[in-house]
Chains A and B, each alone.
Chain A
């Protein structure tokens, strides 16, 4: 089931998250909805990211593929070059560089879509709270037996309202 707490103050959200975490809930159970990016101290609501790593991997992959593509296509037809190399890494370095960067760009965008959850198959039962201007909504996924404690924690932290959703 889900609890949705509405907050006006960022400090109140911070306290609520601290209490909920202390009560045994993990970061994966908590989602904060807001009209602006909300930053918290490290360790509070961490979302580890592999975006930089994926960007490097994408760059290496595209760089290698483009170099291989240029190499094999230039060797595909036996041109008479008078002893000059058919494939010159320096002369095709621009292509390799640009394709390497393209790989990183595509990887960043793709990973953004994945990591943000925009293209991942979402849990349809998870309610998406309507965030009113100037407020933030904390969505908590918990078992029914944890709900009362979680609700109380959010109220104590300063939630202006706590609603229950998705009870079965």
Chain B
């Protein structure tokens, strides 16, 4: 089974995020990068499937600060190959990233034909598009997102998958392989790998590194960020006062306003 996993680094929101001086993006000076949460699940699902069915897992990502740690950790967890794509520049948006990944996947020996291409279902900075459907479109493959269960049957050329719907409802799908899946959650939470193992892998294994292909078209994202701001936050709750009936009605009104009722 040949599984590819596309990883993406996103700003770590544990750190206080600040707006850049130009007011249009993040101040990257103190921002730290972390693996997008659902990408971690995509990797875990790939590793579980490899353990179950045998095969190979390759992780790919565009270069970003702290990416090397993530790639070595992936190798220590059991991935077979880690490919870092350099030179795309900082602040590459999802549309362009997907295009670069698709080109590398298509041209790099040993990646295609793949049975499964996985990524997280959504990253919280996927402003100009979602990676999984973009990859699917570029590679001409079927796509299914918000997947929590993935059960491939290579001999039959298809996979039984489960997608999440609102209210705890799930849908069971049959998808022809090869296909691209946006993983919401792996079967089990992402595994822990002892630091000693990662350190050992840093000495014994290599991350493959190659430049992003020259872009034959520019401006793939086709959007402009005019301004970025922090939302207004107060340090304390707005207290609702009055009789039980009054506060209940007021609260109901708030819930309706927020589309929760």
Is B one of A's binding partners? Answer: no
B interface residue numbers (CB < 8 A to A): none
Which residues in A have some Cβ–Cβ distance to B below 8 Å? none
